[in-house]
Amino acid sequence: MPQTFEPAYMERMMETRSHFKISLFFLLLLCGTLVSCEQDEAVVSVEGITLSHDMLLMGVGETAKLTATLLPENATNRQVFWESADENVVTVSTEGVLEACEAGQTTVTATTHDGGFTASCTVYVAQKLPEDDPADKEKRTVLVYIAGDNNLASFAKQDMEEMKEGMASVVSGSLHLLVYADLGGDDAKLVEISSQDGVTMEKTIKEYGARNSTGVAETLEVFGDVFSNPDYQSESYGLVYWSHCDGWIPYPVPSTRWIGQDTGDGDNRMNLSDFVQILQYAPHFDFIMFDACFMQSVEVAYALRHYTDYYVASPTETPGPGAPYDRILPYMFIQGAAVEIARTYYEVYEEKYAAGEGLSNSNWTAGASICAVKTDGLEALASATRQLLPEEPVEVSSLQEVFSYDRRSSLSKVGYYDYVEMMSLLLPEDDFEVWKQAFDAVVAYWGTTPMNYSSSGGLFSMEGTCGVSHYIPASVTSEAAEAYRSTEWYEAAGLSRLGW
């Protein structure tokens, strides 16, 4: 029997279908809206890229990882392409892992797939020191690094002649004097100066041509050519750095310079942080000596503490003739003779001292100063300074009476002040005596003539000086003060307590 439906039931069925169609329409409309919103939120364009390092220093065979950060953090397409400009020097994986292949310099670049934004890292690769310990390795190697492509070139030539005179007194064939000399032009070279039967000889080891001798890659190359060469493997090492210098101050803070100056192609200089990284790929030194101005500052000494037993330099401007190499060079080949190097340096200038009478570069009568620091006490000195400094800020204007080694005009003056006198003003007498014991344990030798000479201010008295300078900012908001807060010494000595 055919099934029949009552009219009322049919109406309810039609109404239900109509409601279902309406509900389905709104559901599809809502889903479409959600999908559209999700698609809009999911596509976030890349706006930039940064790398975890903009400079890396590696040894041959070492690996390192660069991390890329995309901007904004929620960018959708996070794909990055990596490229090394010279895969003979450094290779880079798809994950940003670098492998150092050979000594040199290259650039590693990361590029975003979305937008093609780039960020680069300069990579320097140094030759690693040989790990073997040959039984016949030589006794002592000293490198003199002359960055003389500037207005000091004529003095460098004179100093190299003095080195030859001094080497005539070194009769052992197990002692090596290597001199890197860039005096301008295209003739930068590494030579070995040796003596036989009192006769000195100069042998060219390598010619480099025109170059920036304050560059990281260039300095690393020279260090590798000396310290990674099996012919010069030694029981102990010494290093002399020769050039214009200006203490701890980084370049380019206006009107200043730091380690070295090369004017062959522009005005190139090296910063402290770069020099410290380079020393990681050199042997530990018995002494590091700077034949340059203003380098005996506690800030520089502290930065070099891990790389040398003794640090020798002057806290003030260095005389034009520089170190008397004919007299000090034999001591450079004696283990632990940094004090004798400094003492002999001073005695040469003391003998000629005449309060500047008849002063000339060939007749330097205006005196000099030199200080040798024993680096193994520097961390204790930093600790003593940090523990004893006042707890409250100190107005820098109250310390301007402290003796200044820097006699230049205000435009170029950095602020190298006598460390001991500064602490004597900051500390109560009892605390100062405790601190002074830590300081005295660091200074192995200090010698100065009664007066020294400044190219800007002429002769000035050195009475009561200690031989080690400390920075005091002219203003805590200056660019130099800002740079100072990035030094290791600033942190280790707790100088933030003074409000500097």
Q: Which amino acid is at 1?
A: M
Clarify whether residues 165 and 60 are in a common domain.
no
Q: Is the dihedral of CA 283, 288, 291, 296 positive or negative?
A: positive
Which CATH number do you get for residue 53? 2.60.40.1080
pLDDT higher than 50, residue 258: yes
CA angle 416, 419, 423 (to 5 degrees): 130
Clarify whether residues 98 and 218 are in a common domain.
no
Omega of the bond prior to 315 within 30 degrees of 0, cis?
no
Clarify whether residues 87 and 184 are in a common domain.
no
Clarify whether residues 246 and 381 are in a common domain.
yes
* pLDDT confidence of residue 135: 52
Final residue of a structural domain among 76, 105, 126: 126
Final residue of a structural domain among 126, 153, 180: 126
Which distant-in-sequence residues (6+ apart) come within 8 Å of 345 by Cβ?
A: 312, 323, 324, 327, 328, 368, 370, 447
pTM above threshold 0.85: no
Using CA atoms, how far apart are residues 173 and 315, in angstroms rounded to an integer?
35
- 93 domain residue, yes or no: yes
CA angle 153, 177, 60 (to 5 degrees): 95
Clarify whether residues 142 and 264 are in a common domain.
yes
- 96 domain residue, yes or no: yes
Q: Which amino acid is at 127?
A: Q
Clarify whether residues 338 and 436 are in a common domain.
yes
Per the structure, the complete domain to which residue 294 belongs is given by: 138-498
- 253 domain residue, yes or no: yes
Give mean pLDDT, residues 118-144: 79
- Name residue 112's beta-bridge partners: 80
Using CA atoms, how far apart are residues 259 and 282, in angstroms rounded to an integer?
17
Number of domains observed in the structure of the chain: 2
- 347 domain residue, yes or no: yes
Among 480, 157, 465, 493, which Cα is nearest to 314's?
Answer: 465
Of 260 and 199, more confident:
260
Clarify whether residues 310 and 445 are in a common domain.
yes
Burial class from Cβ neighbours inside 10 Å (0-12, 13-18, 19+) for residue 497 reads: middle
- 62 domain residue, yes or no: yes
Q: Phi/psi at 200 (nearest 5 deg)?
A: -90, 150
- 317 domain residue, yes or no: yes
- 425 domain residue, yes or no: yes
Clarify whether residues 347 and 202 are in a common domain.
yes
pLDDT tens profile 437-448: 999 999 999 999
* pLDDT confidence of residue 133: 59
Burial class from Cβ neighbours inside 10 Å (0-12, 13-18, 19+) for residue 34 reads: exposed
CA angle 336, 339, 343 (to 5 degrees): 145
pLDDT tens profile 386-411: 999 998 999 999 998 999 999 998 77
- 447 domain residue, yes or no: yes
CB atoms closer than 10 angstroms to residue 391: 6
* pLDDT confidence of residue 134: 53
Clarify whether residues 88 and 191 are in a common domain.
no
Clarify whether residues 171 and 106 are in a common domain.
no
* pLDDT confidence of residue 411: 75
Highest mean pLDDT, choosing among 132-136, 170-174, 218-222: 218-222
- Of 91-100, 176-185, 197-206, 463-472, the poorest mean pLDDT is in 197-206
Omega of the bond prior to 254 within 30 degrees of 0, cis?
no
Final residue of a structural domain among 58, 93, 126: 126
Q: To which residue do tokens 């280790």 refer?
A: 492
Clarify whether residues 56 and 118 are in a common domain.
yes
Clarify whether residues 363 and 427 are in a common domain.
yes
* pLDDT confidence of residue 39: 47
